[in-house]
């Protein structure tokens, strides 16, 4: 009989690619993870993982079991949801990981909405970028992620997750008031090809949006200054050290002294924001109202 907790470990190893990283995500020791993998191999009668210089990879037998693992774990999430519904599930805590502007845009309004519609549900919020929040959901560290589409992100049809689209927003060009394009109604990105750039660090989903937009305009941006805090990005632009692309919602309420904000000429770069939960958990009586509140907040934003 295969134990479900060992399937969790197999999936964590497949996701994180090393025993050490999987152990850290699951709050286990590497030796405990190795022991559980060995026990799983004994239960199945197949070698499931291979260790190499670059980490761990699944064998063909491991890949077969992983496909079944995603279905089994999703079904267990559904079972938990139905049992919670049977027991009413009207009170409890749901942990939501979201990036800063996502918290302001939809998570905080959703929490306020739930205080009236479902007072027994408490939201606990953790600030995390989209590339960090999705692994947190898969590793069961949080219940819901509010994330941004990015290169390498799990796709909408990923068997491990259920995606709930929330909103999409354009990036605007931010240039110093002394910039040669400050007087234009719209900014063509190609005109900024030779400027120094300010942007998020690699790994931040917004970094990918900026780089892809510039590449589509025919150039590689010279990112001379890096910050994941858009207030810092705007402050640097106001100091006339470079130009930037910033999500429109991040600019709300910000001190824009010293900069000019203009829409991008043509097709504007866009970030698409969604909520994600472990597949099967979307019907949980605690999680479902949170997803509904996030959707409602996104519709009013």
Q: Which of 81, 101, 128 is the last residue of a domain?
A: 81
Q: Which of 120, 101, 100, 122 is nearest to 111 (CA)?
A: 122
Instruction: Give me the pLDDT at residue 265, please.
Output: 93
Helices within the chain (DSSP H only): 4-16, 19-26, 30-44, 60-86, 100-102, 108-117, 130-138, 205-216, 230-238, 287-300
Q: Are 177 and 259 in contact (CB under 8 A)?
A: yes
Q: Check whether 87 has a pLDDT greater than 70.
A: no
Give the rounded percent of residues in the chain with a pLDDT score beyond 70: 98
Distance of CA 143 to CAs 30, 74, 78, 147, 290, Å? Answer: 24, 14, 14, 13, 10
Note whether 286 and 226 are same-domain residues.
Answer: no
Note whether 281 and 151 are same-domain residues.
Answer: yes
Instruction: Give me the pLDDT at residue 77, please.
Output: 85
Overall average pLDDT of the 247-273 stretch = 92
Q: Check whether 142 has a pLDDT greater than 90.
A: yes
Structural domains of the chain, count: 3
Q: Tell me how far apart the alpha carbons of residues 145 and 161 are, in angstroms, rounded to a whole number.
A: 10
Structure tokens at 235: 């402050």
Q: Which of 8, 51, 41, 39 is nearest to 26 (CA)?
A: 8
Note whether 289 and 215 are same-domain residues.
Answer: no
Note whether 275 and 253 are same-domain residues.
Answer: no
279: CATH = 3.40.190.10
Q: Which of 81, 112, 136 is the last residue of a domain?
A: 81
Whether the model clears a pTM of 0.85, i.e. scores above it, the answer is no
Task: Output b/e per residue, 168-200; b: 16+ Cβ within 10 A.
Answer: ebebbbbbbeebebeeeeebebebbeebebbbb
Note whether 182 and 253 are same-domain residues.
Answer: yes
57: CATH = 1.10.10.10
Note whether 204 and 177 are same-domain residues.
Answer: yes
First to last CA, the chain: 49
Note whether 148 and 293 are same-domain residues.
Answer: yes
Q: What is the DSSP string of 162-195?
A: EEEEEEEEEEEEEEETTSTTTTSSSB-GGGGTTS
Q: Which of 225, 217, 220 is nearest to 200 (CA)?
A: 225
**Domain span including residue 15:** 2-81
Q: Which of 1, 27, 33 is nearest to 14 (CA)?
A: 33
Per-residue model confidence as pLDDT tens digits over 88-141: 666 788 999 999 889 999 999 999 999 998 888 889 999 998 778 999 999 999
Q: Is the model more confident about 51 or about 90?
A: 51
Furthest-apart CA atoms within the chain: distance in Å: 70
Q: Tell me how far apart the alpha carbons of residues 101 and 297 are, in angstroms, rounded to a whole number.
A: 13
Note whether 136 and 179 are same-domain residues.
Answer: no
Note whether 278 and 153 are same-domain residues.
Answer: yes
Instruction: Give me the pLDDT at residue 73, please.
Output: 86
Note whether 254 and 283 are same-domain residues.
Answer: no
Beta bridge partners of residue 52, listed in sequence order: 55
Indicate the average pLDDT of the chain.
90
Overall average pLDDT of the 38-48 stretch = 88
Note whether 278 and 222 are same-domain residues.
Answer: no
Note whether 142 and 100 are same-domain residues.
Answer: yes
Q: Tell me how far apart the alpha carbons of residues 60 and 66 are, in angstroms, rounded to a whole number.
A: 10
Per-residue model confidence as pLDDT tens digits over 160-210: 999 999 999 999 999 999 999 999 999 999 999 999 999 999 888 889 889
């Amino acid at each position: 009989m295969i134990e479900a907790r060992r399937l969790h470990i197999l999936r964590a190893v497949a996701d994180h690619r090393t025993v050490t990283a999987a152990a850290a995500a699951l709050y286990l020791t590497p030796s405990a993870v190795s022991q559980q993998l060995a026990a799983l191999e004994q239960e199945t009668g197949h070698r499931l993982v291979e260790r190499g210089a670059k980490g761990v990879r699944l064998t063909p037998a491991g890949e077969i079991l992983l496909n079944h693992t995603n279905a089994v774990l999703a079904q267990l999430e559904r079972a938990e949801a139905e049992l919670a519904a049977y027991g009413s599930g009207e009170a409890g805590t749901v942990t939501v990981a979201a990036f800063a502007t996502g918290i302001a845009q939809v998570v905080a309004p959703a929490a306020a909405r739930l205080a009236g519609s479902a007072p027994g549900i408490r939201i606990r919020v953790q600030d995390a970028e989209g590339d960090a929040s999705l692994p947190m959901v898969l590793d069961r560290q949080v219940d819901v992620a509010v994330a941004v589409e990015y290169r390498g992100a799990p796709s909408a049809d990923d068997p491990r997750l259920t995606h709930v689209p929330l909103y999409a927003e354009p990036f605007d060009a931010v240039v110093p008031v002394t910039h040669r394009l400050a007087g234009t109604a719209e900014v063509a990105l190609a005109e900024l090809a030779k400027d120094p750039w300010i942007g998020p660090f690699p790994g931040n989903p917004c970094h990918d949006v900026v780089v892809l937009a510039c590449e589509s305009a025919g150039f590689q941006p010279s990112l001379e200054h890096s910050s994941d805090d858009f207030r810092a990005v705007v402050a640097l632009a106001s100091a006339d050290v470079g130009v930037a692309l910033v999500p429109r919602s991040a600019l709300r309420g910000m001190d824009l002294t010293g900069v000019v904000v203009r829409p991008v000429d043509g097709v504007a770069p866009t970030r698409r924001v969604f909520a994600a939960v472990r597949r099967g958990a979307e019907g949980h009586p605690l999680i479902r109202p949170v997803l509904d509140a996030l959707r409602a907040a996104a519709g009013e934003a």
